[in-house]
Structures are given as C-alpha cells and as structure tokens.
Structure 1
Amino acid sequence: MTKWQKFLFDVQNHIKALDLIGCDIPFFRGHSNGSWELLCGLGRSSKAKKYRYIESTLYHDFLALAGPLLDDANSPWDTLFAMQHHGLPTRLLDWSHTFSVALYFALKPYLNVKSRPSIPTAELPCIWMLNPFALNKASMNDDSIFNPHTDLEVNYWDVYINEKKKFPTDVVALNPTQTSRRLAVQRSGFTFHNEIDAPLEQKYSDLVRKFVIPAAAIPEALSFLTLAGVNEYSLYPDLDGLARYLMIRHM
C-alpha cells in the first residue's frame, strides 16, 4: 500500500465511521500548511483584532463599491458570502462537502510538482474533516446544519453591523443556499464564528480530525485531482479562473 493509498484508506474509514453516527455530509477543508489553525479570516487578521470597527467598515465599503456587481436581492448573508469568496476577512471559515475540493486547496502550492517535495513535517499539507451535525448539537442543541436565510432567528446585519442583537452561540455550521456559481461548484459549507479568536480544533477537538498528507503521497494525489477533473477553472468558473488554469497547465 502506497502512502497515498494509506491516506485514502484512513479518510474513507473516518467517513464510514461518521456515517454510522448519522453524519452523512461531513465537511472537508484543505490546508497547504498543517500548522495553520482553524480560525476564520477575522480571527487570523491582526488588523481586525486591533481595530474594533474594521468588520463593519469592510462590509459597508464592499456593499457600496460592489453594488453593480451584486444581485439586487442580496441579503446580508449573501453579501457576507461574496466577501468571503473574493478574499476579504470575515467570520466565515470555508469548508466543502467534497473531499477532492479540499484536497485541491491543500495541494495548490504543489500543482507543478513532479516528484516528492521536501517539506518540514510540521508544515505538511492536510485535510480537516468536521462533523457539522455534532458541532451544531454541541453549540446550538440542534443536530442539523443551518441555512442562515431560513434557520437562524438573527441575521448578520442585525448582530455585527447594526449591533442591535446578539448571536446565540460561539460557532455554528452553515449550509447556505447556493446563490453563486462559486458556492455551487465548490459545494460550499461554512462555519460561522461569533468568537473569532478560538481555533475550532481546540474547543471542539472531538468533532474535527486532521489527516496529514505525506510528502511521498503528493505526486499520486495530484494525479488523482487530474483524473477527477478538479482544477482552477472547475473551482473558479470565470475568465480569471480559466486564465489561472491555463497558466498552471502550460506556463
């Protein structure tokens, strides 16, 4: 059994174990550096921690300047998801329902590697797997994955921009309406973090599991992604994504 086969075997066994306890939609997240914590963008941003109002400033400026590019019917949640997917720090942490999507993001720095790369052990890429049902059971006493548009009594604007209400818990797993092509093709799920400084793997260590990808497994893993048709253009189905895909493939 190769290192890649052993890695897949361990992942598949954990998926089966989760399914036996009622988790038929695990969340996957890829980190290209295994030392990174499961923190949302605002939690990783030193400016967000230093300046109290950076969150509302980013939201207002994005909404004002991106107006022509956004759907007129966008809710505050939709605006937040758009901010996240276009690189702004938010209270969201990206996950996917699809293992291969997480694997692509874990291996993105190594897409042109042809042989085993040299990587410090602590910085090997990894896949995190989360049981979102158990997370919401622990944080909200409800073992379902919430659609923020329909299942939460508060919305993002009221709590964090208008500051008229409070969010009911520290973290929650979300399965949003797939309103954009990026959300749809990446099979996106999110964890939403009311407490931005607390890494998910610390407070809920029994609900997440980390699978380190050995350096020797990376060439086979990249072949797997090619076979599965997962690439920059399949995950970012626009002209920018196509251009990046062609650069990676040919240049």
Structure 2
Amino acid sequence: MGRYEIKKSSNGNYYYTLKAPNHETVVVGEQLTNYNDVKSAIKQSMSSSSRADKIIKRLSSSGKPYFNLVAENGAILGSSQLYSSDASLERGIESIRKYGTSDALVVDVLGGSRVAQKIGSVRTYITAIESLPQDSGAVIFFRGHGDASYKLLPSLYRNSGWIRNEHVIFQELVLRCPSDFQLSGPTFNTLVKMQHYALPTRLLDITTNPLIALYFSCVDGGSTDAEVVVFKIPKKEIRYYDSDRVSLISNIGRLPQHTRFPLGLNQNDFNSDDDVIKLVREIQREKPYFVARVNPIDISSVVCVKPVLDNPRIIKQDGAFLLFGVDGEKSKPSAVPEEYLLTSDEFRIIIRGGDKIKILEQLESLGITRSTIYPEIEHVAGYLKDRYKD
C-alpha cells in the first residue's frame, strides 16, 4: 500500500510525496501555499493515478524521461524523479498506478496526524490497523458502523421515545419474560440480555477482533461509506460485570425520565440528593452491601465492561461493551473520553460503500460469516438459505 506524506518546504509552502511500500518516492507534489489545498491535491492524485490519460510522459532538458500527474483540468499535481531509461520510467508509472490510489495511507508528517483512509479490501484494512500505535498498558477494541455518519451513542439514545421510556422498557421485558431473567444476576447482565434481543439499552457493542468489526461495518450493505472505530482503553480502567461502578450506571436505567443528578456539588451534598438516594436503593437491591456513597464522576463516566461469557454470541464475537452514564440528566449521555479513541476526526478508517460486498466475500473466505458471528440456529439456517440460493 502506498503512502502520501504531507510536508512543508523551507519557504513555508506545503506539498506531498507519494511513497511506495519500500519507501521509494514515486511522485512529489507541486508546492502550494495552503495546507487544505495539499489535501485536495492528494484526493485528485488518487483519482488520476489510475488513469493513463492523466500520467503524462516528459523529457527533461538533459534528455532524461519523467512523468507528470495531472488533474482533470490539466493542472500538474506532481512529478516523478528523472529516470535513466524508458524501462525505469515505465516501472515508475506502474508504481503510481499501483500505490497512488485511494487505498493509500495519508500521513501528516508535520503533526504526526493522519486523515481519513478509504478501505476497499481486507488487505488494506489490516495494513491500516497494523499502522496504529500499540500500547502494552491498554487493550485495543473495535466497532464497525454501517454508516460513517453514525455517532458513538448506544441504541437507547437514537430515539427520544426510547430514552424517555427506558425504565418502562426495562420493567416490561422482565414482567413479560420472567423466566428469562430469573438467574440473570446483576442488572448489567439483564442489559446484556436485552441487547442480545435488540432492545435499546445504554450499551454499545465493541470487540477485540478487528475482522468482526469490519464485518459489521459491511453487513447491512448499501452504497453508504461505513467506518471502523478503534479504541485504546487502559487495562486499569476496564471493569467486570459485577463492579460497583458498573452496577451504578446500569441501574440508572431503572429510574424514570425526570431523574436528574446535580452537577457541581461536593460529594456530601450530591449524596443527599433525592434521585441519587433512589439510585442507591436500586443498586442495593442487587448488592445489599453497597455503601451509600456515590462519586459523581462515576455516574457521568463511560465504562468498558467485560461480560460473563455465558452467551455463545458474545464468545464468537469476542465481545465487550461500553456502558454509558449520563451528563446530569437521563436525556444526556456521557461522551466517550477522547483518550479512549485511537481513531479520531484526524484519522478515520472509512470503508468504501461500493466495496462492501467484495469485503464480505473476502471475510467469508476467512471464516467470518453470519453463521459464525451469530451461532444461534435461526441465523445459521438463514446463512445457509442465502448461501445456496440461485
């Protein structure tokens, strides 16, 4: 995979270089005064690099061959080095056709930040993942969105009626299906089971398997660009299903819509609030030993939780969850801490909508299918039905 690097010259102008995987420079872009113009030039170069009519062969004053890469309007986007022969020129042209496409990585050498990379195959996706920094003190998680415009919000916050009636949905499911919840244990386990049956909760699914996330970004099809979000969560901040903080946030779902948690109070005054007292009582239903002293920070946090591996779907998907607290009131979810995000606005892994079907076919050859991700018999049957129909 090629690599576009954004650089700054000694005279203050910006330009890019395109490098092959062996770090050899294929093209050097024209110098431009505006940083955003360079980003635009890279996009145009990605489009022109695969078109023979946009790669113009030239001879230097010394008689050595080279080529220019031109935009749709004929403007020069970049130029190659001077080659010693026509044969080496052709190899250079082959390199730009191979490495200059939209699969290439874009790196801002100035600030170390990277911009959105368009993914069109499993191979380029794995390469992008491998380029991310590693940290022995953190666990890397992934989440695939079928639409790149989706926000990092749990399903509960995607409809105002759901968040308004969270406590009703919670109670109604348990009332209507009591045998399914008799042995659920902590409230968090109930949320996991609700999530399993597609009820809106304050959980967001994540996985330690990047291929699972890629599958979910493509499985709904359509031509809309998708995205894989990558998280780097410190090991010391990952909680288990029976953690006190997990119980605290999970039981917010049992409280009515008008629940408020006052901001800006000291801990004593905060714990004297009526709604906080009600929350403590809910927690003590599952943990009688829970000390009635709540840290306001815990209520407004987003926690990574490892669930009990008693669900074949969770096992197959290498699953975990982000559990969302609230920002003062139930209608306002807490935000995922920026330090948890390995991808960001500066570097996004975007899955091209037009390549979703191809990627799903590649994943199937690697054993990632509907039947392996959803091991329940109805999903296996559905996969087999679709797999063998004419």
TM-score between the two structures when normalised by the length of structure 1: 0.78
Task: Look up the match of 1:11.
Answer: 129
Q: 2:194 and 2:225 mapped to 1: Cα distance?
A: 29
Residues 1:76 and 2:187 are matched in the alignment: yes
Question: Is there any run of 5+ residues in structure 2 with no aligned partner, and where?
Answer: 2-102, 104-119, 256-277, 281-293
Residues 1:193 and 2:324 are matched in the alignment: yes
How far did residue 243 of structure 1 move?
2.2
Q: 1:127 and 1:199 mapped to 2: Cα distance?
A: 21
How far did residue 157 of structure 1 move?
6.0
Q: 1:199 to 1:223 in 2, by over 3 A?
A: farther
Kept in 2, the 8 Å contact 1:172–1:191? The answer is yes
Larger Rg: 1 or 2? 2
Q: 1:248 and 1:74 mapped to 2: Cα distance?
A: 38
How far did residue 27 of structure 1 move?
1.1
Task: Look up the match of 1:41.
Answer: 155
Which of 294, 301, 307 is matched with 1:176 structurally?
307
Q: 1:102 to 1:161 in 2, by over 3 A?
A: same
User: Residue type matched to 2:312 in 1?
Assistant: R
How far did residue 230 of structure 1 move?
1.4
Higher normalized helix content (fraction of residues): 1
Q: 1:21 to 1:71 in 2, by over 3 A?
A: same
Task: Look up the match of 1:250.
Answer: 388
Task: Look up the match of 1:207.
Answer: 341
User: Residue type matched to 1:160 in 2?
Assistant: G
Q: 1:207 to 1:247 in 2, by over 3 A?
A: same
Task: Look up the match of 1:138.
Answer: none
Kept in 1, the 8 Å contact 2:371–2:379? The answer is yes
How far did residue 227 of structure 1 move?
1.9
Q: How does 1:53-68 map to 2 (within 5 A)?
A: 54-68=165-179
Task: Look up the match of 1:227.
Answer: 365
Q: 1:199 to 1:37 in 2, by over 3 A?
A: farther
User: Residue type matched to 1:241 in 2?
Assistant: H
How far did residue 187 of structure 1 move?
1.2
How far did residue 145 of structure 1 move?
0.9
RMSD: 2.7
Q: Secondary structure at the match of 2:183?
A: coil
User: Residue type matched to 1:242 in 2?
Assistant: V
Task: Look up the match of 1:139.
Answer: none
Q: 1:216 and 1:64 mapped to 2: Cα distance?
A: 44
Which of 254, 270, 283 is matched with 1:161 structurally?
254
Kept in 2, the 8 Å contact 1:37–1:199? The answer is no
Q: 1:59 and 1:174 mapped to 2: Cα distance?
A: 20
Task: Look up the match of 1:30.
Answer: 144
Task: Look up the match of 2:11.
Answer: none
Residues 1:146 and 2:239 are matched in the alignment: yes
User: Residue type matched to 2:173 in 1?
Assistant: F
Q: 1:207 and 1:157 mapped to 2: Cα distance?
A: 23
Kept in 2, the 8 Å contact 1:175–1:189? The answer is yes
Bigger mean CA offset, 240-249 vs 32-41: 240-249
User: Residue type matched to 1:204 in 2?
Assistant: E
Identity of aligned residues (%): 22
Q: 1:157 to 1:174 in 2, by over 3 A?
A: closer
Q: 2:250 and 2:150 mapped to 1: Cα distance?
A: 29
Highest RCO, 1 vs 2 (Cα 8 Å, sep ≥ 6): 1
Question: Is there any run of 5+ residues in structure 1 with no aligned partner, and where?
Answer: 111-116, 134-141
Q: 2:226 and 2:219 mapped to 1: Cα distance?
A: 10
How far did residue 218 of structure 1 move?
3.4
Which of 213, 218, 230 is matched with 2:356 structurally?
218
1:59-89: per-residue Cα shift (whole Å, max 9, x none)? 1111122222345253211111000121111
Residues 1:131 and 2:232 are matched in the alignment: yes
Higher normalized strand content (fraction of residues): 2
User: Residue type matched to 1:45 in 2?
Assistant: N
